[in-house]
Amino acid sequence: MRKRHTPKDRLITVALHAALAAGLFFAAFPIYWMLSSSFKSNTEIFALPPTILPKAFTLEAYAAILGDPVKLRFFFNSYFVAGAVTVLTVLIALLAAYGFSRFNFRGKGSLNTLIISTQTIPPITLLIPFFGLVVSYGIFDTYVALILTYLVFTLPYAILLMTGYLNTLPRDLDEAVAVDGGTSWTALWRVIVPISLPGIVATSVYTFLLCWNEFLFALTLTKSTSMRTVPIGIQLLMGQHAFEWNQMMAMSVLGSLPLLLIYLVAQRYFLAGMTAGSVK
């Protein structure tokens, strides 16, 4: 239907591409700048006029980060906590989702509403009672404190995500197990779990990202340098080394790698996790 190649039409196409280029600059320049600064020396970062490509390409910032056991510990802590929470969340959420998806029971509707509404509870509101609890149970500055805390924040979303996925699976499958005399428990592990991998991956991605990014609770519930996670490590770096910008950028790049990798490898799951709840 559309008339093409009139001068006006061509002008619109050109304008659109110019706007796309401007959008690209807006979206990507800050990230490009982080990346290129991580390969510069500290003096070159503030060179006038700014150098777009590193003039003297150097890996000194990365060497400084990767050669420092204190900083490697931040990475270990982040991976460990996020990994542990992901495993626990997926297991617990899978059970709850199975209950929601395959059974009708009293209170189902209100429980569902409860779970949706807990997603929006402000973290700062829970921070103070958590601090009180963590101190009184003597788990301040431990992995347990972080893992339990993160579990509360990842679980509601994970349940919704998994329930949504299980609802797409035909019920005939578990009914076949019931006909053979199997219990719902057998049906879950023999039939549902093996075909739920996409849902499990999406939930894991979401959970891992949330834990990897968490700042407020890691800041408040840990104290010793050996318990700190990457986000806190970056903040500490900013305080300690009076603006070693290249190291801060290198650490930011390293700290973003898991997210970038997950995004590139599993884009579909990543988006499913990030937009879960909001589109539905």
Q: Which of residues 154-173 bind other proteins (CB under 8 A)?
A: 155-156, 159
Per-residue contact string for residues 47-76; x = within reach of other proteins by CB under 8 A: -xxx--------------------------
Confirm if 93 and 155 have CB atoms less than 8 A apart.
Answer: yes
Burial class of residue 25 (count of CB atoms within 10 Å of its CB; 0-12, 13-18, 19+) = exposed
Q: What residues from 191 to 230 belong to the interface with other proteins (CB under 8 A)?
A: 212-213, 215-216, 220
Q: What residues from 9 to 28 belong to the interface with other proteins (CB under 8 A)?
A: 12-13, 16-17, 19-20, 23-24, 26-28
| Residues 253, 255: Cα–Cα separation, whole Å | 5
How far from 204 is each of 94, 166, 172, 193, 256, CA to CA, in Å?
11, 15, 27, 14, 17
Confirm if 120 and 210 have CB atoms less than 8 A apart.
Answer: no
Decide whether 85 or 201 has the Cβ nearer to other proteins. 85
| Binds other proteins by CB under 8 A, chosen from 248, 269, 273, 276 | 248
- Minimum Å gap between C-beta 67 and other proteins is 21
Decide whether 19 or 197 has the Cβ nearer to other proteins. 19
Residue type, 94: L
| Residues 177, 186: Cα–Cα separation, whole Å | 8
Q: What residues from 117 to 136 belong to the interface with other proteins (CB under 8 A)?
A: 117-118, 120-133, 135
- Minimum Å gap between C-beta 197 and other proteins is 20
